[in-house]
C-alpha cells in the first residue's frame, strides 16, 4: 500500500503592525492626493462657469451697513460644491482628460498655438473680474426714446469736421502707447486714451435760463462747458475714430456711453482698467456697466469719474440717443 503524503503549506504569517501602518499611510496619501487634484480641477472649472452664470443671478443684499451683496459669493459656493461632488463620480475620466489637456498645452506652448501662458492670462482676467465685483445696472430696453433738443445735439456732434477728427486721432494715441495688452482690444485702448485726455474738462454753466449746445469743434478750443457740451465732444471723438457711442439723458444730467466689448470679453477689459491703464484711479472702486440685449457692454465715459465705468451719477434714464 502506498501512502500519499501531502506537504502541508505553511500558514500565512500575519502582517506586522509596521507593514499595516505603511499600507494605511500609502492609501491615505493616495486619497489626499486624489482629493487635492479634484479640488484644483474643480476650482479651475468654477471660475469660467461663474462668469457665464453670474449674469442670470439676481442681486441678493443683506441689510448690513449700507447693504452687502452676497449673490456672487453664494453662486461661487454652489457651483464649486456641485462640481466637487460630480468630480468624485467621474474622477477617472477627469484624470485622463487632464493629462491630455496638459500635453496639448505643452505642445501649444512650444510650437505655437494655445499654451500655458494663454491659460494664465485668461484665468488672470477672470479672477480680476470676480475680484472687482462689477455692478450691472438695470437698463430698460424700452426706454429707447430720443432726448430733448435731439436735432440740435446731433448737429453739434460734427465728428466729420477736420478739427474734430484731428483732435480725436491725436487723443486716441496720446496715452497707453507702452501698455501691454492684446491687439484685439486696441480699439478700447484708444477710447480709454480719449477719456483720459478729456479728464482735463472744466465744467462751466450755460447762460442762466438758457440751454446752449456747443459744437464739438467749438468745445475742443475751450475744453469747458456743461454736461451736454462734454457729451457732444466725447461722442464726436469716439465716432471719429470708428467707435459706437450713445448719449444718455437722466433727470438732471446727460452723459456718454461707449460700446466697449461683448460680455464674454469683459474680464479682459476689466483687467485693462483695473490693473494696467487706470490702476490708481480705479483702486478700491468698482466697474459699473450696462448690458444690452445683444450682449454688448456699455461703459460710462462721464467726466464725473476719473476712470471708465465709474459709478453713474443718476440711474433713472429718461431718454437715449443713438449716435
Extents of the domains making up the chain: 19-113, 141-322
Report whether 153 contacts 239 (CB < 8 A).
no
pLDDT of 81: 92
119: Cβ contacts below 8 Å, ≥ 6 apart = 105
pLDDT of 66: 58
**pLDDT above 70 for 65:** no
Binning pLDDT at 50, 70 and 90, where does residue 277 land?
A: very high
How distant is the alpha carbon of residue 292 from its chain centre? 15
pLDDT of 198: 95
pLDDT of 157: 95
The topology (CATH level 3) of 141-322 is C8orf32 fold (3.10.620)
Q: ∠ at Cα 278 (73, 214), nearest 5°? A: 115
CA atoms within 13 A on the CB side of 54: 25
Q: Kind of pairing, strands 245-250 and 317-322?
A: antiparallel
Give per-residue pLDDT as tens, 4-59.
Answer: 555 656 656 566 666 776 777 777 787 888 888 889 888 888 877 776 777 677 76
pLDDT of 218: 93
CA atoms within 13 A on the CB side of 127: 10
Give per-residue pLDDT as tens, 68-109.
Answer: 667 778 888 999 999 889 888 888 888 788 888 778 878 887
pLDDT of 285: 83
Q: What is the mean pLDDT of residues 213-239?
A: 94
Q: Distance between CA 112 and CA 183 in Å, rounded?
A: 17
pLDDT of 311: 86
pLDDT of 97: 80
Q: What is the mean pLDDT of residues 292-318?
A: 88
pLDDT of 196: 95
The C-alpha cell that represents 51 in the structure block: 462668469
DSSP state of 276: I
pLDDT of 14: 63
pLDDT of 29: 81
Query: What percent of the chain stands above pLDDT 90?
Result: 33
Q: What is the mean pLDDT of residues 294-298?
A: 91
Q: Is 176 left (phi over 0), alpha (psi -120 to 50) or beta?
A: left
59-73, 218-232, 275-289, 307-321: least confidently modelled range: 59-73
Q: Distance between CA 247 and CA 147 in Å, rounded?
A: 9
pLDDT of 261: 94
Q: Kind of pairing, strands 288-291 and 135-136?
A: parallel
pLDDT of 126: 67
- Higher pLDDT, residue 322 or 162: 162
Binning pLDDT at 50, 70 and 90, where does residue 174 land?
A: very high
Q: Which helix (H) or strand (E) holds 67?
A: none
pLDDT of 144: 55
- Higher pLDDT, residue 164 or 15: 164
Q: Which helix (H) or strand (E) holds 59?
A: none
φ and ψ at residue 171, rounded to 5 degrees:
-70, -35
- Higher pLDDT, residue 239 or 115: 239
Q: Mutual orientation of helices 186-197 and 162-172 as an angle, nearest 10°?
A: 110
Q: Distance between CA 289 and CA 131 in Å, rounded?
A: 16
Q: Distance between CA 98 and CA 115 in Å, rounded?
A: 14
Rg (CA), the chain: 30
Q: What is the mean pLDDT of the chain?
A: 83
Report whether 289 contacts 298 (CB < 8 A).
yes
pLDDT of 48: 73
Amino acid at each position: 500500500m502506498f501512502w500519499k503524503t501531502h506537504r502541508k503549506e505553511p500558514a500565512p504569517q500575519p502582517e506586522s503592525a509596521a507593514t499595516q501602518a505603511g499600507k494605511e499611510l500609502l492609501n491615505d496619501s493616495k486619497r489626499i492626493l486624489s482629493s487635492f487634484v479634484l479640488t484644483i480641477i474643480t476650482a479651475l472649472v468654477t471660475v469660467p462657469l461663474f462668469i457665464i452664470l453670474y449674469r442670470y443671478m439676481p442681486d441678493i443684499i443683506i441689510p448690513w451697513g449700507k447693504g452687502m451683496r452676497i449673490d456672487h459669493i453664494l453662486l461661487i459656493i454652489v457651483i464649486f460644491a456641485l462640481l466637487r461632488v460630480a468630480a468624485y463620480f467621474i474622477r477617472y475620466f477627469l484624470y485622463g482628460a487632464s493629462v491630455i489637456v496638459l500635453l496639448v498645452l505643452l505642445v501649444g506652448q512650444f510650437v505655437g498655438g494655445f499654451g500655458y501662458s494663454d491659460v494664465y492670462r485668461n484665468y488672470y482676467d477672470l479672477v480680476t473680474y470676480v475680484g472687482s465685483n462689477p455692478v450691472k445696472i438695470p437698463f430698460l430696453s424700452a426706454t429707447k426714446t430720443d432726448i430733448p433738443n435731439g436735432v440740435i445735439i446731433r448737429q453739434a456732434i460734427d465728428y466729420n469736421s477736420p478739427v474734430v477728427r484731428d483732435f480725436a486721432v491725436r487723443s486716441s494715441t496720446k496715452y497707453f502707447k507702452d501698455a501691454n495688452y492684446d491687439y484685439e482690444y486696441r480699439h478700447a485702448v484708444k477710447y480709454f486714451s480719449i477719456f483720459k485726455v478729456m479728464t482735463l474738462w472744466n465744467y462751466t454753466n450755460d447762460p442762466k435760463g438758457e440751454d446752449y449746445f456747443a459744437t464739438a469743434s467749438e468745445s475742443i478750443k475751450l475744453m469747458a462747458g456743461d454736461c451736454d457740451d462734454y457729451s457732444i465732444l466725447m461722442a464726436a471723438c469716439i465716432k471719429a475714430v470708428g467707435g459706437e457711442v450713445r448719449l444718455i439723458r437722466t433727470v438732471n444730467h446727460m452723459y456718454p456711453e461707449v460700446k466697449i466689448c461683448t460680455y464674454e470679453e469683459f474680464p479682459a477689459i476689466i483687467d485693462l482698467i483695473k490693473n494696467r491703464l487706470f490702476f490708481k484711479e480705479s483702486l478700491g472702486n468698482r466697474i459699473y456697466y450696462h448690458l444690452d440685449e445683444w450682449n454688448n457692454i456699455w461703459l460710462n465715459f462721464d467726466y464725473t469719474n476719473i476712470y471708465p465705468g465709474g459709478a453713474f451719477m443718476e440711474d433713472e434714464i429718461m431718454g437715449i440717443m443713438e449716435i
